[in-house]
Amino acid sequence: MVTLKLPKIIGHRGAAAYAPENTLEGIHTAADLGIEWVELDVKLTRDQVPVIFHDDTLERTTGAGGHVAETNYEDLRHLEAGSWFSEGFAGVKIPTLEEAVEVLLERNLGLNLEIKPCPGRERETAEVALDALSQIWDEHDRLLISSFSHVSLEAAFDLAQDWPRGLLLPKDWPENWADLADYLKVSSINLNGNTCTREQIEEVADLGLPILAYTINDLDRARLLRSWGVDGFFSDAPDLLREVVERMH
């Protein structure tokens, strides 16, 4: 299993409290805050271009109708994905995975890439995204491939065994989560830090894997999770958690 030196704080979708999520501007914002890693979501367009985007549908962040999986990249790249956040970000675009990685490398950031497949494209999304990533990303100890989809993680394992994988657990854990973690040889467990219990954290701790909690924007919750044994946090406002992290050893 790959040894991974994870940071204590990872900027969620860039730095989603301060800039539009999953954009180049969000990545730059995280870097400007002094954050070491960011988490970004990758999906495929209709014509199999990996883009940094979270939802299956386009409406929430672009105002456009339709599904990512049914939209060609040429149409997607003309959409505007910033003004929903604030007028100061009007004109911001949906980046490709390649464009995002260029900025990550420029700003010397680590990456947690969440494979966020549209339904039915679980394996395809992993294969296309990781094939693209393999041509431009060299640092294995500064990369974590994660997904809620065990099919996507299985594809990642088949395609790039030496890249660390993180198993994302939803609010309601699958009964076989520990078996999945073992089967997929994951390097971290990423769980919902706002709904998990101390008992669940202790169960994960028994596996001896790093525990990352998403999406933590509250200092008191971060302190509590830290006292339970959580190793790191995903946050929309990653700078706010520094106070907690500075006391973590």
The catalytic site residues sit at: 12, 54
Instruction: Name the residue with tokens 């883009």.
Output: 51
Dist. CA 125–CA 114, nearest whole Å = 11
Q: Are strands 232-235 and 9-12 parallel, antiparallel or unpaired?
A: parallel
Report the distance separating Cα 118 and Cα 113, nearest Å: 15
For the chain, what is the HEC assignment? Answer: CCCCCCCCEEEECCCCCCCCCCCHHHHHHHHHCCCCEEEEEEEECCCCCEEECCCCECHHHHCCCCEHHHCCHHHHCCCCCCCCCCHHHCCCCCCEHHHHHHHHHHCCCEEEEEECCCCCCHHHHHHHHHHHHHCCCCCHHHEEEEECCHHHHHHHHHHCCCCCEEEECCCCCCCCHHHHHHHCCCCEEEEECCCCCHHHHHHHHCCCCCEEEECCCCHHHHHHHHHHCCCEEEECCHHHHHHHHCCCC
- Rounded-to-integer distance, Cα 73 and Cα 78, Å: 9
